[in-house]
């Protein structure tokens, strides 16, 4: 009877194992397909948002370029005035010849034009047009501020008003494009040159800008499609791996149970052997859970890597623009034989500073993911600064202020890169909350506390706090409070694993007056 009971139990366990494996496959498949679905949808939704940001930033960059072009010309004119022995009229003639001959960005549509002001208050005799390669028929004639473009806009009144008030103006209007009889929208920058009573201007046609933006859009669309395809392949690989592991486990369980069943039929004494085998199986399952945990660690690193690449792109956008402007200035100076040693040295130093900044940025990025197996001693403030340098552009883009109060002499001993990953996860979580809730005057505060046992780092925000109860639920895997599944639910879970399991510390969260406070406890003198 006892043996029959054991056989019956074995049969039930065998069926149970199949049910468990089947359930595991179904759950894993559902989770992976759900993640893929939400990822693809969110990727395409965010594409338009990011594209709109790019357009705004691109137009701002073009405005800066126009302004820099005018300032460069003014530098050249002032330089020539200082160095030349010619009289004013001869200097003006040379300047007119120069301005008639140059464009920027190798586009003949981007030309310089100059008004000699006769009446600063405007009117039909407001100024004489002395430079305009696009309209040589108007050169030497009086220009009226009452002129209207094809949209009925008196754009000369607008920029003249700005000139009187500030000495410069950005104005958009419709004007004839070179090699065309059509009027196209144009963005121009006007600046007053007091010495000769000139208004020096340069513009760029917005259809050229839109063409460049469309090229960028197609490039980004291609990249998004490639990224989506790559991630779908990755998800499918995870699914295939999970199914394969499940099948292998199922087969092993069936073989083990069948072997145990035969042994029980022969001899009840082999129940002891069965117990030993079950203990080994428990160890095996623990090891498999550890492997799954490692997969989650890798996934969290991939997510962090994506955010890091985005931050690097933000960090490099401005220095690349500065380098372009420096090279353009040097090229322009050289083309007119005005490149002296002082200018070359000054611009070279500016370029070196920009390159040094970009080099530091990529070093921080490379070191962030460099694997380290051994604990090391490091300054806490330095680690925090490295993380902030990586995401500073993103925070600045959303006007999020950072307050850091850390004694520069505080040192801790733990796994540096893992600690930085925890910081990045928590700060990114605070950033996302501040952006999602559209908090006015968003702020992240970082400060420390130290006692005999722990070095504690506090990260606080003014995002209104955590509404989930109990609050420890936010550390559960795949749990997220972010709307429309913008979050993965992995970052905080992995942060808790890293701090409490790998570093033997504690990670706590609570609500304070205006938001949430995360506390990272790292023990002292732990080997």
Q: How far, in Å, CA of 242 to CA of 233, rounded? A: 14
In a domain, 385, yes or no: yes
Residue 383 placed within a domain: yes
The tens digit of pLDDT for each residue in 41-61 reads 777 677 788 888 888 888 898
| pTM of the entire predicted model | 0.39
Those residues whose C-beta lies under 8 Å from the C-beta of residue 161, and which sit 6 or more positions away, are: 169
**227-241: average pLDDT:** 77
Question: Does residue 28 belong to any structural domain of this protein?
Answer: no
Domain count of the chain?
Answer: 1
Q: Is residue 22 part of a domain?
A: no
The pLDDT tens digits for 13-49 are 556 566 766 776 778 677 777 776 766 677 767 778 8
- For residues 468, 474, 479 and 483, what is the CA-based torsion angle, rounded to 10 degrees? 50
**At residue 485, does pLDDT exceed 50?**
no
DSSP 3-state of 29: helix
Distance separating alpha carbons of residues 527 and 347, to the nearest angstrom: 51
Q: Which residues contact 443 (CB under 8 A, 6 or more apart)?
A: 400, 401, 402, 403, 461, 462
Structure tokens at 181: 């009889």
Which range is least confidently modeled, 133-147, 296-310, 339-353, 492-506?
A: 296-310
Indicate the pLDDT class of residue 409, thresholds 50, 70 and 90.
very high
Q: Which residues span the domain enclosing 406?
A: 371-523
pLDDT band of residue 292 (cuts 50, 70, 90) is low
Q: Residue 525: what pLDDT? A: 74
Q: Identify whether 471 is part of a domain.
A: yes
Decide if 516 is inside a domain.
yes
Whether residue 377 is predicted with pLDDT greater than 80 in this model: the reply is yes
Name the helix (H) or strand (E) containing 168. strand 168-176
- The CATH number that applies at residue 470 is 3.30.565.10
Residue range 293-334, pLDDT digits in tens = 565 555 555 555 555 555 555 455 556 655 676 787 788 888
Three-class SS of residue 115?
strand
Structural domain contains residue 273: no
Q: Is residue 65 part of a domain?
A: no
């Amino acid at each position: 009877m006892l043996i029959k009971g054991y056989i019956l139990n074995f049969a039930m366990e065998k069926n149970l194992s199949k049910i468990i494996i089947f359930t595991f496959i179904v759950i894993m498949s559902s989770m992976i397909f759900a993640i893929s679905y939400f990822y693809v949808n969110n990727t395409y939704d965010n594409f338009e948002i990011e594209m709109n940001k790019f357009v705004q930033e691109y137009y701002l960059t073009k405005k800066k370029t126009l302004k820099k072009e005018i300032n460069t010309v003014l530098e050249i004119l002032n330089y020539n005035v200082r160095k030349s022995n010619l009289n004013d009229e001869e200097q003006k003639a040379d300047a007119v010849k120069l301005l008639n001959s140059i464009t920027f960005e190798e586009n003949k549509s981007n030309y310089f034009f100059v008004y000699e002001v006769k009446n600063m208050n405007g009117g039909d005799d407001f100024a004489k047009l002395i430079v305009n390669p696009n309209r040589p028929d108007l050169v030497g004639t009086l220009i009226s501020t009452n002129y209207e473009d094809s949209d009925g806009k008196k754009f000369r009144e607008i920029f003249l008003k700005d000139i009187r008030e500030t000495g410069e103006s950005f104005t958009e209007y419709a004007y004839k494009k070179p090699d065309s009889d059509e009027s196209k929208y144009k963005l121009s920058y006007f600046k007053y040159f007091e010495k000769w009573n000139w208004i020096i201007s340069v513009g760029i046609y917005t259809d050229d800008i839109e063409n460049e933006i469309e090229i960028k859009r197609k490039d980004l669309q291609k990249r998004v499609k490639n990224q989506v395809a790559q991630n779908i392949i990755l998800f499918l690989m995870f699914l295939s791996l999970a199914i394969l592991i499940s099948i292998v486990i199922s087969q092993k369980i069936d073989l083990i149970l069948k072997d145990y069943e035969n042994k029980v039929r022969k001899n009840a004494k082999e129940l002891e052997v069965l117990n030993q085998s079950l203990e080994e199986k428990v160890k095996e399952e623990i090891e498999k859970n550890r492997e799954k945990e490692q997969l989650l660690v890798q996934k969290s690193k991939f997510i962090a890597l994506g955010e890091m690449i985005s931050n690097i792109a933000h960090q490099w956008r401005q220095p690349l623009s500065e380098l372009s402007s420096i090279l353009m200035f040097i090229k322009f100076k050289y083309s007119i034989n005005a490149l002296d040693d002082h200018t070359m040295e000054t611009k070279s130093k500016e370029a070196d500073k920009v390159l040094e900044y970009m080099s530091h940025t990529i070093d921080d990025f490379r070191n962030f993911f460099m694997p380290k197996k051994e604990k090391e001693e490091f300054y806490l403030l330095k680690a925090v600064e490295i993380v902030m340098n990586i995401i500073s552009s993103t925070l600045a883009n959303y006007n999020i202020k950072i307050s850091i109060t850390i004694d520069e002499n505080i040192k801790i001993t733990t796994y540096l890169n893992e600690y930085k990953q925890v910081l990045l996860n928590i700060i990114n979580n605070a950033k996302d909350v501040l952006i999602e809730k559209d908090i006015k005057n968003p702020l992240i505060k970082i400060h420390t506390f130290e006692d005999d046992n722990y070095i504690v780092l506090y990260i606080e925000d003014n995002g209104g706090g955590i509404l989930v109860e109990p609050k420890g639920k936010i550390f559960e895997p795949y749990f997220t409070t972010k709307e429309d599944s913008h979050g993965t639910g992995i970052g905080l879970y992995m942060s808790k694993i890293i701090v409490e399991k790998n570093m033997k510390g504690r990670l706590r969260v609570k609500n304070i007056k205006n938001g949430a406070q995360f506390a990272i406890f790292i023990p002292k003198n732990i080997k």
